[in-house]
Chains A and B, each alone.
Chain A
Amino acid sequence: MTKVTLTVNGRTMSGECEDRTLLVHFIREKLGLTGTHVGCDTTQCGACVIHMDGHSVKSCSILAVQASGSTITTIEGLAGQGELHPVQAAFKEHHGLQCGFCTPGMVMTAVDLINREGGHLTEETVRAGLEGNICRCTGYHNIVKAILAADAEIAGSRQAAE
């Protein structure tokens, strides 16, 4: 057993685990944050996407011990208690989710995409940016719409702040 310490959603958290424990299982089972999901075994579906040190990563393909010392944001920590991040709000407004299982990974991916390329996203760049996330319910139509709307909203409020 190895001790893993992470800063998760702003709080320092520690736990013991086997070295073979995947980060996603550590987050779900040791930290009790079950919003991050596992949908495949081959690093493809993206249901497990979180942010590690500011970048989107697939927590199903990283060992918890590899991540030790890093700063992590999960879907639970994206917005304040009871609030929605603009991307979450846009997913609700545009019906960008159905069963909800891929949703946390989709939202974390969208936030990362807007962080990197925000302000001038197009349907094409959004679809390309979702290459690592699979949704079986929505046909992506409303996810794309939601991300474009969130991008415009975030860019707008940035401009307003300047």
Chain B
Amino acid sequence: MYATSYHRASSVEDAVKLKSANEEGRYLSGGMTLIATMKQRLAAPSDLIDLRHIPAIRGIRIEGRKVTIGAATPHADVAASRELAAICPAICKLAGHIGDPHVRHMGTIGGSIANNDPAADYPAGLLGLGATVVTDRRSISADDFFTGLFETALEEGEMVTSVTFEAPEKAGYAKFNNPASRFAMTGVFAAKTAGGIRVAVTGAGASGVFRHPGFEQALASNWSPDALSNVAVDASNLMADMHANAEYRANLVKVMAKRAVASAG
């Protein structure tokens, strides 16, 4: 790891101020990706602004069917929330399969989505739920937030403070692990929301997480795994690597989509 300077923010305002004072700095949440990347000397922020000690952005709040998850909430808390599981078990299941138990104790939803790893789970969850990302300065719909591989709509210095969504009528998540890294080689989140059917795919797209309109249309007329059987998955926009070529990923996208729908009930 290259040398860096650490700052612990006490509030959102404090964090944003620290960030603006250190242009080459980065926000640090759980650090499960950022620290690992820095260790490999693939990232070299001059400063780190630690967000884990800001009480206002930590925790899960549920009002009726409206869910707000603070950006610094660890995956383990989301996975274990009984209140959340009562209205949206799929997001708990998704969080419970990120990384491993130790990673889930540190890694946070805000850190995960701000990084937007193409094989991360949360981007599929948020896109599938039609969630809204709240920052220190505005609200961004998930459709607009994830813009490409490790790319988001966040501006320089902008900080995620929470994620909100309406609990869906039904939702399911199915993930096929990369055999080595255990990241999603393909993960599909399917949801029946107030705004319609949404199916989001992670781990497979060459440009990161994406929605699958073909699946959504098929499920709109018939919410069942079988409805997807004859929907084509275009392999040409999918990732290819030594673990899975695009053709195999296309197959996994369909199989996981069916399983996501099946698990949603």
**CB–CB under 8 A between A and B in the complex?**
yes
Contact for A55 among B39, B76, B182, CB less than 8 A: B76
Complex contacts, B32 vs chain A, CB 8 Å? 43, 61
Interface string of A86-119 (1 = CB under 8 A from B): 0000000000000000000000010011001000
Count of A-B contacts judged by CB separation below 8 Å? 81
Complex contacts, B31 vs chain A, CB 8 Å? 61-63, 66
Complex contacts, A19 vs chain B, CB 8 Å? 3-6, 48
Chain A residues 55-98 with CB under 8 Å of chain B are 55-58, 60-63, 65-66
Would you call A43 and B5 a contact (CB within 8 A)? no
Among B6, B102, B181, which residue has the most Cβ atoms of chain A within 10 A? B102
Would you call B1 and A49 a contact (CB within 8 A)? no
Minimum CB–CB distance from B3 to chain A (whole Å) comes to: 6
Write the chain B residue with the least CB distance to A66.
B50
**Given A56-B102, A57-B102, A57-B106; A20-B36 close (CB under 8 Å):** no
Interface bracket on B: 20 to 34
**Given A57-B105, A132-B102; A18-B3 close (CB under 8 Å):** yes
A2 within 8 A of B: yes
Complex contacts, B103 vs chain A, CB 8 Å? 43, 58, 61, 132
The interface residues of chain B, by DSSP majority, are classed as mixed
A162 within 8 A of B: no
A22 within 8 A of B: yes
A131 within 8 A of B: yes
Chain B residues 1-53 with CB under 8 Å of chain A are 1-6, 8, 28, 31-32, 35-36, 38-40, 48, 50, 52
Would you call A20 and B105 a contact (CB within 8 A)? no
The interface residues of chain A, by DSSP majority, are classed as mixed
Complex contacts, A66 vs chain B, CB 8 Å? 6, 28, 31, 50, 52
Interface bracket on A: 20 to 34
Question: How far, in angstroms, from A116 to B182 measured CA to CA in the complex?
Answer: 22
A129 within 8 A of B: yes
Would you call B100 and A41 a contact (CB within 8 A)? no
Would you call B105 and A2 a contact (CB within 8 A)? no
Minimum CB–CB distance from A51 to chain B (whole Å) comes to: 9
A42 within 8 A of B: yes
Minimum CB–CB distance from A77 to chain B (whole Å) comes to: 18
Would you call A109 and B101 a contact (CB within 8 A)? yes
Question: How far, in angstroms, from A112 to B5 measured CA to CA in the complex?
Answer: 32
Would you call A22 and B102 a contact (CB within 8 A)? no
Contact for A46 among B1, B40, B100, B105, CB less than 8 A: B100
Would you call A131 and B100 a contact (CB within 8 A)? yes
B148 within 8 A of A: no
Question: How far, in angstroms, from A44 to B102 measured CA to CA in the complex?
Answer: 10
**Given A2-B6, A131-B182; A61-B36 close (CB under 8 Å):** yes
B99 within 8 A of A: yes
Complex contacts, A113 vs chain B, CB 8 Å? 101
Would you call A132 and B100 a contact (CB within 8 A)? yes
Question: How far, in angstroms, from A129 to B40 measured CA to CA in the complex?
Answer: 27
Chain A residues 13-59 with CB under 8 Å of chain B are 18-20, 22, 41-44, 46, 49, 52, 55-58
Complex contacts, B182 vs chain A, CB 8 Å? 44, 131
Minimum CB–CB distance from B159 to chain A (whole Å) comes to: 17
| Closest 7 A/B residue pairs (Cβ) | A132-B100, A55-B105, A19-B6, A65-B6, A131-B100, A20-B1, A58-B102
Q: Can you list 26 A-B contacts (CB < 8 A)?
A: A19-B6, A20-B38, A43-B32, A43-B35, A43-B99, A43-B103, A44-B182, A46-B102, A49-B102, A55-B76, A56-B101, A57-B102, A57-B105, A58-B106, A62-B35, A62-B106, A63-B6, A63-B48, A66-B50, A66-B52, A109-B101, A113-B101, A129-B101, A131-B100, A132-B103, A133-B100
Question: Which residues of A line the B interface, CB within 8 A?
Answer: 2, 18-20, 22, 41-44, 46, 49, 52, 55-58, 60-63, 65-66, 109, 112-113, 116, 129, 131-133
